[in-house]
Structure 1
Amino acid sequence: MKIAFNQATTLASSTLEQDLILCEKHGYDFIEIRLDKLKEYLLTNTIDDLKDFFKNSKMKPLSLNAIEWFTFQNETTFALMKEDLRLLANVGQQIGCNTIVVVPSFEIGEKHWSEIKAETIRCLNELFRVVQDTPMRLALEFVGYPECSINTLDRAHEIIKEMNNDRIGLVIDCFHLYAMNSNLDDLKKVDRDQIFLFHIDDCEDLVPGILRDQHRIFPGEGVIDLDTIISILNDKGFKGPASIELFRPEYWKMDPETCIRLSKEKTEGILKRIVSEGIS
């Protein structure tokens, strides 16, 4: 399985330009580009500069992320999100990246699942209409926090199944699977083609409902059953890549190159061990 780098891992310590150079140096196959880092980059660079980088690099763009908190928004806020989506779609088409991550809203109050589901489907359909004449796909990422409107795999999958659009799929993130105790049997029910992105990470030994992004740690150093998750993905023929996404403030204090190097080494070590042990 090839390896990608998600820019959340160096969120406070690096720029898109730095991450591109360092990830290429350390042999990553792909990179996930954050919207905030992209906007910062475009203040002093052009889309053509980014296009030229990938044209001359073995590393390729994997996704653009993210349109965040896209449900239960007022008309003005949602319109601004659509503008961001248009920017990402334009950049994606020019640099050869066809996947945009979308994240549902948090702290929406006491709403029934039927309301959440209907609103999520409505908003996803509206976002899709923005990109439907392009090659872009939307990858829905559930977040394993109690206050997120979609915080388990089964509910995210329920929405994707009902929408039945082969350009709207899922992000499978090991941390989010663990953080709200998603049943790994539900992962077995997800069709391979519905998985647009796979995020690999690990976390501290805290109970579901307590874990937050700052508790993420390098793969293999925590309590997540990565072997079983990767085994399930392998069994369904999912080929990756595995994208490391950590969001840990302690790692943001590292020298960016050290963090990027260690992230690659830790992820590569897990994947090689699973292959060598024939876990399936």
Structure 2
Amino acid sequence: MQKALHGISTHYCNIVTDARIAKETGYDSLELLSSKLVRYLDNGGTTQKLKKISDSYGLSVGCVNALLEIERYQGEAKQTMLKEATRLTRAAAELECPTVQILALDGIDDKPDETVMDIITENVDAIAKIGQEYGVRYQIEVIAFTKFRTLEQGLEVIRRVGRDNVGMVIDFWHLYASGSKPEDIARLDKNLIYGVHFCDGRLPKPGEAWDQMVLRNYMPGEGEIDIQAWTDAVKATGYDGLWSAELFSPNRWEYDLYEIATECRENMTRYTG
């Protein structure tokens, strides 16, 4: 098992400082936020410099998170999406990072369910072809408040695409909020699990909006999810890869980020061993 510091847990921190925090608070790896990575590269940073930094700290780069809005499927919008995919994939390869996360938002939520699946399948296939050129794979994250939201949909896209560089990330909150249960996770083929997002939260109350800033503002163990049951379910598959401490918490983002990184790692260790 590799324990990664997720870049969202230290939301206001730049990517170089994320690496130092991860080293000094006991992590093995980094899950880089794509927004931080792109900002770093757009302002004079290079993947070579970043890799030298992570190597000097003894850290791997486990995932680049994420290529957003993979539902863009028409004309210039799709070409822009594929250019973004290529840029992140190339950067991941240069960082010797095996995995880029991909996810759809709500851009095609007005379409029938089968159309949604067709569009996502076509786009994931196109993205996967890029990854094959660079030796990079992709983990699909299903987003609980969109039409492409369930574990079953993610697995069906993987089946339809039929390439060996597409899998799933087991995000505790998104999968819990879209109706999955620990026993569903325990039945998965471990080879389809590319990462774990160790996180908590709750469902919206009647009439409440799907606002992640509110619904996910919890350290694991503070929300509705049975964290130990979900942890045990992942371990039951035999998966032993990257576990990423993801804290989506506007409240704690205002704390000392070293303290937060330490608390996230210690909390994850308490459940995972």
Question: Which TM-score applies when normalising by structure 1?
Answer: 0.89
Mapped partners of 1:110, 1:158: distance in 2:
20
Query: Could you list the per-position Cα deviations for residues 187-211 of structure 1 after superposition, in whole angstroms to 9, with x for gaps in the alignment?
Result: 2342110111110011147559855
Instruction: Letter of the 1:185 partner, please give it.
Output: E
Select the residue among 194, 211, 214 that pairs with 2:192: 194
Mapped partners of 2:209, 2:180: distance in 1:
14
Alignment partner, residue 219 of structure 1:
220
Alignment partner, residue 270 of structure 2:
269
Q: Is structure 2 residue 89 aligned with structure 1 residue 89?
A: yes
Alignment partner, residue 277 of structure 1:
none
| Alpha-carbon contact 1:33-1:63 (below 8 Å) kept | yes
| Alpha-carbon contact 2:169-2:193 (below 8 Å) kept | yes
Query: Could you list the per-position Cα deviations for residues 221-254 of structure 1 after superposition, in whole angstroms to 9, with x for gaps in the alignment?
Result: 2221122222222221101322011222112212
**Aligned residues, how many?**
269
Secondary structure, counterpart of 1:202 in structure 2? coil
Secondary structure, counterpart of 1:187 in structure 2? helix
Secondary structure, counterpart of 1:223 in structure 2? coil
Question: Which TM-score applies when normalising by structure 2?
Answer: 0.91
Mapped partners of 2:234, 2:109: distance in 1:
34
| Alpha-carbon contact 1:220-1:270 (below 8 Å) kept | no
Secondary structure, counterpart of 2:251 in structure 1? helix
Aligned pairs for 1:70-219 within 5 A: 70-145=70-145, 148-204=146-202, 206=204, 212-214=211-213, 215-216=215-216, 217-219=218-220
Alignment partner, residue 25 of structure 2:
26
Return the offset for 1:270.
2.0
Q: Percent identity?
A: 23
Query: Could you list the per-position Cα deviations for residues 29-80 of structure 1 after superposition, in whole angstroms to 9, with x for gaps in the alignment?
Result: 1111111101222213222211211222222101112111111443222222
Instruction: Letter of the 1:106 partner, please give it.
Output: D
Instruction: Letter of the 1:227 partner, please give it.
Output: Q
Mapped partners of 1:231, 1:264: distance in 2:
17
The 10-residue stretch of structure 1 (107-116 or 163-172) with the greater mean CA deviation from structure 2: 107-116
Instruction: Letter of the 1:161 partner, please give it.
Output: R
Alignment partner, residue 34 of structure 2:
35
Mapped partners of 1:40, 1:72: distance in 2:
22
| Alpha-carbon contact 2:124-2:161 (below 8 Å) kept | no
Q: Which runs of 5+ in 1 are unaligned?
A: 273-280
Q: Is structure 2 residue 13 aligned with structure 1 residue 46?
A: no
Secondary structure, counterpart of 1:89 in structure 2? helix
Return the offset for 1:256.
1.7
Mapped partners of 1:220, 1:60: distance in 2:
27
The 10-residue stretch of structure 1 (188-197 or 61-70) with the greater mean CA deviation from structure 2: 188-197
Q: Relative to structure 1, is the Cα distance of residues 254 and 74 closer, same or farther in structure 2, using a 3 angstrom cutoff?
A: farther
Return the offset for 1:100.
0.6
Mapped partners of 1:109, 1:136: distance in 2:
29
Q: Relative to structure 1, is the Cα distance of residues 184 and 162 closer, same or farther in structure 2, using a 3 angstrom cutoff?
A: farther
| Alpha-carbon contact 1:171-1:197 (below 8 Å) kept | yes
Query: Could you list the per-position Cα deviations for residues 94-126 of structure 1 after superposition, in whole angstroms to 9, with x for gaps in the alignment?
Result: 221021111013152432221111111100111
Instruction: Letter of the 1:83 partner, please give it.
Output: K
The 10-residue stretch of structure 1 (45-54 or 180-189) with the greater mean CA deviation from structure 2: 180-189
Instruction: Letter of the 2:258 partner, please give it.
Output: E
Report the RMSD for the aligned CA atoms in angstroms. Answer: 2.0
